[in-house]
């Protein structure tokens, strides 16, 4: 059993390194309909998130910014997870992910690749790195233009 967990851990690490060094959807959008920026002063991570929302569906999502591998990987995974989702489903996913990152319990919803960030939960100071993009997402969806700070 522990071998399986070790293998999973390695797989997760590889996924985070992959997304952290070669993030997906890492670009600026010129026709975004929603935008928000977030800052995590604990680590210095910055995230600028662009969304294109049509008929209450997210048809495109991309981000720019700089930060540690965890924050970049999380933002990259976020954009992959929300494209083609409805605004309602994306907000539900925010809540599920937030619960997943801040509770000890196993998650009863399938978060797919986002599960790779589970290892971060053992490092409380890095949880904000992983949730920054998600708080930024929430602000963008709610059209809240005040910059997000995780502090």
Residues found near Zn ion in the complex (CB under 5 A) = 43, 45, 67-68, 71, 129
Nearer to Zn ion, 58 or 75 (CB): 75
Nearest to 127 by CA among 63, 53, 45, 57: 45
Nearer to Zn ion, 71 or 76 (CB): 71
Nearer to Zn ion, 8 or 68 (CB): 68
Q: What is the smallest separation between the CB atom of 136 and Zn ion, expressed in angstroms?
A: 13
Q: What is the smallest separation between the CB atom of 44 and Zn ion, expressed in angstroms?
A: 7
Q: How many helices (H) and strands (E) does the chain have?
A: 4, 4
Q: How many whole angstroms separate alpha carbon 138 and alpha carbon 140?
A: 5
3-state DSSP call for residue 104?
coil
Q: What is the smallest separation between the CB atom of 141 and Zn ion, expressed in angstroms?
A: 22
Q: What is the smallest separation between the CB atom of 117 and Zn ion, expressed in angstroms?
A: 12
Edge-to-edge strands, sheet with 148-149? 57-64, 45-54, 34-40, 148-149
Nearer to Zn ion, 53 or 67 (CB): 67
Do residues 38 and 135 lie in contact, with contact meaning Cβ atoms separated by under 8 Å?
yes
């Amino acid at each position: 059993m522990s071998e399986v967990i070790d293998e999973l851990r390695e797989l997760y690490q590889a996924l985070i390194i992959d997304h952290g060094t070669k993030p997906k959807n890492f670009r600026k959008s010129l026709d975004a309909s929603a935008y928000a920026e977030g800052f995590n002063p604990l680590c210095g991570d910055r995230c600028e998130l662009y969304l294109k929302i049509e008929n209450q569906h997210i048809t495109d999502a991309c981000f720019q910014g700089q930060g540690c591998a965890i924050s970049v990987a999380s933002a990259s995974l976020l954009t992959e997870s929300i494209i083609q989702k409805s605004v309602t489903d994306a907000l539900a996913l925010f809540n599920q992910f937030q619960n997943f990152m801040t509770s000890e319990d196993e998650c009863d919803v399938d978060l797919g690749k986002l599960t790779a960030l589970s290892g971060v939960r053992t490092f409380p100071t890095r949880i904000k790195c992983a949730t920054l993009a998600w708080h930024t997402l929430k602000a963008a969806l709610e059209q809240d233009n005040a910059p997000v700070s995780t502090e």
